[in-house]
Structure 1
């Protein structure tokens, strides 16, 4: 079983391969997740583009979207062949596109189908199969919906359930509003762990600091960070020491970028645009003197067609190295 005390959530348009490479330079141990990829895209699309990743990203999990057991099994086999360490089924995304495809959060209403999907994937692959869900959707009673889903997927072979501790309102709220408006109910995950001690329970939603993560770990097995890990990525810097017992020195923000630059150069040589990579580093110096100038320089210059890694080097000069050592 992977060490999942701290993980970084799958986030559409954010946790792509470039972001994951960057985050891995900050934490060697946090479990990273891909963006959600649909079964149809995996089976019929450009697999190298969708599934390819750098070996340094391990441990890394693939999140799949779908509701057909056979298609999920085939997609899981393909992902396992690419070397992913885990397959995660999305039962939490509330977007219109997901609903129209009968997967994501609307599957909270069909726990038996989710269990069938898990069983099919478990039979197809040797790596762990996990589920990420909400506490319920619309008028569902979380006291019933969440434990019911948990029991059924556990019985199908799922050992880990990641609980985004909010409801999803498929009627009346936009996907963006669904990330903030429904109240957080962490106790639902705590109660689930107490009732099902044999199942690994990870809590997700609105967690912004490692102190908060530590408090949650008194009740559950792991914490998944979402927007905080993207918007303020250096929050991951102490993860390895604090939660995994690592003794290696924590890299400074400048050191992280210096290690990122060779990757940027290599990707540029393959025809990848600088903006595709630089957009993920904008929050690295959040809260530090010069952070705004750093962000502005990258935002203004990286989108240019001829932009090179020098844009990042120049941006780094706006944040004096000595401010990190104070």
Structure 2
């Protein structure tokens, strides 16, 4: 299956959340959805020697890496490193509104300089052996998205980018925190649909506020090429990912949350043997039984006992037993 097909449903890059342990879990739940790394900055890779941040398990394919930066030459170097590591796509972040990102002159603030984004994208494309994509907002601050977004897409398309993931909200760089920027600015799905009509040659995924597979299916049926889900996929992964292959990709059969726990055991055992901590993996599993009997006990046992110095697979087994008893 071509990566564009996998991009019918993707799991958004989320700082501090979509690390390699999270992605391994998500891949066990859906064989088809496109997974994204947390944003990795090009300065960290090129100047900071942080190549270890690119580590991933081969089972995660198809997996995309998201880069943050605004220096074309440095982004090109970083993109080359990502290709060498074996990623299936390199994505440029033009959407993150955090102060830390703004101070580095990248993320959502780049919506103000589409020519620079185009220059960065062109450099990355020249250096990459895989597709380079862009994740953006509909605008920032006082910009009028109706004017800004079409010009942005047109400018960056001219540099060779043909796939965009659009977070259907403005970002307010002053006055709202990154968390507030995920909720307060109103969603404008209509504008994203308009962009697909105006740029039929582009592959456009929509992001922001999507909470169910039914909603994702409706957006695809309305003509968009892809749907990117963030927090709902993280907090209630079973509701989104366990049905994704069947409902979005037409591949029958789905696992149960219990099966996923059992399939995670060898991965966790290896992580522990290598000196890792249980909670580094299980923190991503807290929502596995969300909305199901025993969900509270599951979260409580993993949260309270998963941080201990001797926390091992017995904690996972205890939590699963609690779920089994609650469901009986």
State if a TM-score over 0.5 links the two structures: yes
**What TM bracket, shorter-length normalisation?**
over 0.9
Query: Residue 310 of structure 1 corresponds to which residue in structure 2?
Result: 314
Q: Report the equivalent of 1:245.
A: 250
Q: Matches of residues 180-259 of structure 1 in structure 2 within 5 Å?
A: 180-217=183-220, 218-234=222-238, 235-247=240-252, 249-259=253-263
- Corresponding position: 1:153 with 2:133: no
Conservation of the 8 A alpha-carbon contact between 1:254 and 1:321 = no
Q: Between Structure 1 and Structure 2, how many residues are aligned?
A: 323
Of 84, 92, 100, 1:89 maps to: 92
8 A contact 1:161–1:201 mirrored in 2: yes
1:1-326 matches, cutoff 5 A: 1-2=2-3, 3=5, 4-217=7-220, 218-234=222-238, 235-247=240-252, 249-320=253-324, 323=327
Question: C-alpha distance in 2, partners of 1:17/1:241?
Answer: 24
**Distance of 2:244 and 2:137 partners within structure 1:** 25
Separation (CA, whole Å) in 2 of partners of 1:46 and 1:279: 27
What is the RMSD computed on CA atoms of the aligned residues? 1.3
Which runs of no fewer than 5 residues in structure 1 stay unpaired? none
Displacement of 1:48 in angstroms is 4.9
CA contact (8 A) 2:293 2:326 kept: no
Alpha-carbon shift at residue 39 of structure 1 (Å): 0.3
In structure 2, the CA distance between the partners of 1:24 and 1:292, relative to structure 1 (3 Å rule), is: same
- 2:18, 2:312 → 1: CA distance? 22
SS at match of 2:323: coil
**1:225-247 alpha-carbon deviations (Å, 9 max, x no partner):** 00001000112111111221213
User: After superposition, what is the alpha-carbon deviation per residue over 1:130-170, rounded to whole angstroms, capped at 9, x for unaligned?
Assistant: 00000000000101111111111111111101000000000
1:211-233 CA distances to partner (integer Å, 9 max, x unpaired)? Answer: 00011112310000000010001
Q: Give the Cα separation in 1 of the matches to 2:279 and 2:244.
A: 27
Q: Cα deviation per residue 1:188-231 (whole Å; 9 max; x = unaligned)? A: 11000000000000000010000000111123100000000100
Give the deviation of 1:323 after TM superposition. 4.3
Q: Is the contact made by 2:243 and 2:254 (CA closer than 8 Å) also made in structure 1?
A: yes
Query: Deviation string for 1:234-266 (max 9, x for gaps)?
Result: 12111111221213x311100001000100000
**Counterpart of 1:145 in 2: which secondary structure?**
helix
Q: Distance in 2 between matches of 1:322 and 1:305?
A: 28
CA contact (8 A) 2:205 2:225 kept: yes
Q: How far apart are residue 283 of structure 1 and its match? A: 0.3
Shift of 1:41: 1.2
Once residues 210 and 321 of structure 1 are traced to their aligned partners in structure 2, the CA distance between those partners, rounded to angstroms, is 29
